[in-house]
């Protein structure tokens, strides 16, 4: 039985991915800041602040999926919060690497989350591929450092994969659960100009992509984890209202209001470029929810 160690496995993506892996016969362990009990999953503790990691977690792992990281959207992006966003990703990768190296552990792959923020919070009609350079803004730098921190695994001969993930759509949390109440009341609207692109992915497709990254040993390097259909914020918002059978009449929320409410973080909502899913499709990966209509219908019916 193959063993998969997931960091941040208690989160939105990790909890669904864990369930899917268990159903496919994998052994699953989590690395967490707290060891609150879970029935089917053994949880090991770590703390990057004190460089502590339970060595047994690494001893037992065939694969590591690194999802842990301070939320990008929970708190305003103060200097301190920005540092925590970066360090919780980079220093945790360093800690994993040090322990893997110390144990001379022959991992089969190190697979990590990254974000489409790599391409920058910009509005552009160009379609970003994995060949693009990172964009020199806060999220671009976070993603760059996050991905670079995994390079030492590669140097040890361990296959590494980074999934540059778009907005994850799930009925259990994340962006959709924040949007649903206002749309259910029939007062949902687009944001800013509404022309900015929303790169999105259904949570089931994303989890299948992680499983493919485990099972397909030809996968290596960065892959965009976004659905093939490109949608503007206006189209996304209208489709959401339609899926709920609600009217869509409210004027767009002005960008200036979001800037006041959220500060610099508002760029995540107000900007967005187009991102290609071609490279992952070339591996033979097939999306269950390639269009926003199919994804929303599935999630809203759940």
- Considering the rule CB under 6 A, would residue 93 count as an interface residue with ligand NAP? no
Structure tokens at 299: 């999630």
- Nearer of residues 117 and 248 to ligand NAP, judged by Cβ: 117
d(CA 261, CA 253): 12
Q: Of 193, 195, 81, whose CA–CA distance to 138 is shortest?
A: 81
- Nearer of residues 115 and 222 to ligand NAP, judged by Cβ: 115
Q: Of 111, 100, 251, 274, whose CA–CA distance to 187 is shortest?
A: 251
Q: Which region among 62-70, 121-129, 178-186, 235-243 touches ligand NAP (by CB under 6 A)?
A: 62-70
As a whole number of Å, the end-to-end CA separation of the chain is 32
Q: Which region among 51-59, 148-156, 161-169, 228-236 touches ligand NAP (by CB under 6 A)?
A: 161-169
- Considering the rule CB under 6 A, would residue 265 count as an interface residue with ligand NAP? no
Shortest Å distance, C-beta 65 to ligand NAP: 10
Pairing of strands 42-47, 52-53: antiparallel
Q: Which region among 84-92, 132-140, 257-265, 277-285 touches ligand NAP (by CB under 6 A)?
A: 84-92
- Considering the rule CB under 6 A, would residue 165 count as an interface residue with ligand NAP? yes
- Considering the rule CB under 6 A, would residue 13 count as an interface residue with ligand NAP? yes
- Nearer of residues 92 and 160 to ligand NAP, judged by Cβ: 92
- Considering the rule CB under 6 A, would residue 84 count as an interface residue with ligand NAP? yes
Shortest Å distance, C-beta 23 to ligand NAP: 18
- Nearer of residues 120 and 248 to ligand NAP, judged by Cβ: 120
d(CA 209, CA 131): 19
Phi/psi of residue 4, nearest 5 degrees? -115, 120
User: Would you say the C-alpha torsion 39, 108, 227, 23 has a positive or negative sign?
Assistant: negative
Shortest Å distance, C-beta 133 to ligand NAP: 19
Shortest Å distance, C-beta 245 to ligand NAP: 25
Q: Burial, 78: exposed, middle or buried (Cβ in 10 Å; 0-12, 13-18, 19+)?
A: exposed
| Chain position carrying tokens 């500060």 | 263
Quick check: helix, strand or coil at residue 296?
helix
Q: Which region among 162-170, 231-239, 258-266, 276-284 touches ligand NAP (by CB under 6 A)?
A: 162-170
Query: Between residue 26 and residue 45, which ones bind ligand NAP under the rule CB under 6 A?
Result: 32-33
d(CA 68, CA 114): 11
Shortest Å distance, C-beta 206 to ligand NAP: 8
| Chain position carrying tokens 């290596």 | 220
Shortest Å distance, C-beta 29 to ligand NAP: 12
Structure tokens at 88: 């919780």
Q: Name the site residues for ligand NAP (rule: CB under 6 A).
A: 8, 10-14, 32-33, 67-72, 84, 88, 92, 113, 115, 165, 167-168, 174
């Amino acid at each position: 039985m193959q063993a998969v160690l997931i960091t941040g496995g208690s989160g939105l993506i990790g909890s669904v991915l864990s369930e899917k892996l268990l159903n496919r016969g994998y052994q699953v362990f989590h690395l967490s800041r707290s060891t609150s009990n879970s029935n089917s999953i053994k949880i090991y503790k770590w703390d990057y602040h004190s460089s502590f990691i339970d060595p047994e977690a690494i001893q037992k792992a065939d694969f590591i999926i690194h999802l842990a990281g301070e939320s990008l959207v929970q708190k305003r992006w103060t200097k301190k919060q920005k540092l925590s966003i970066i360090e919780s990703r980079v220093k945790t990768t360093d800690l994993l690497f040090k322990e893997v190296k110390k144990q001379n552990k022959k991992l089969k792959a190190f697979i990590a989350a990254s974000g489409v923020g790599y391409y920058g919070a910009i509005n552009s009609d160009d379609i970003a591929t994995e060949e693009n350079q990172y964009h020199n803004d806060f999220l671009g730098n976070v993603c760059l450092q996050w991905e670079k921190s995994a390079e030492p695994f590669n140097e040890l001969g361990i296959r590494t994969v980074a999934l540059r993930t778009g907005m994850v759509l799930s009925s259990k949390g994340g962006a959709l659960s924040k949007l649903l109440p206002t749309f259910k009341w029939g007062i949902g609207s687009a944001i800013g100009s509404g022309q900015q692109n929303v790169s999105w992915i259904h949570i089931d497709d994303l989890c299948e992509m992680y499983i493919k990254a485990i099972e397909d040993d030809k996968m290596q390097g960065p892959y965009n984890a976004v659905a093939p259909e490109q949608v503007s914020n206006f189209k996304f918002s209208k489709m959401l209202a339609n899926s709920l059978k609600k009217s869509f009449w409210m004027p767009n929320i002005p960008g200036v209001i979001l800037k006041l409410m959220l500060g610099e973080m508002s760029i995540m909502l107000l900007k967005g470029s187009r991102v290609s899913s071609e490279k992952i499709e070339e591996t033979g990966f097939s999306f269950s929810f390639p269009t926003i209509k199919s994804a929303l219908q599935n999630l809203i019916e759940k």
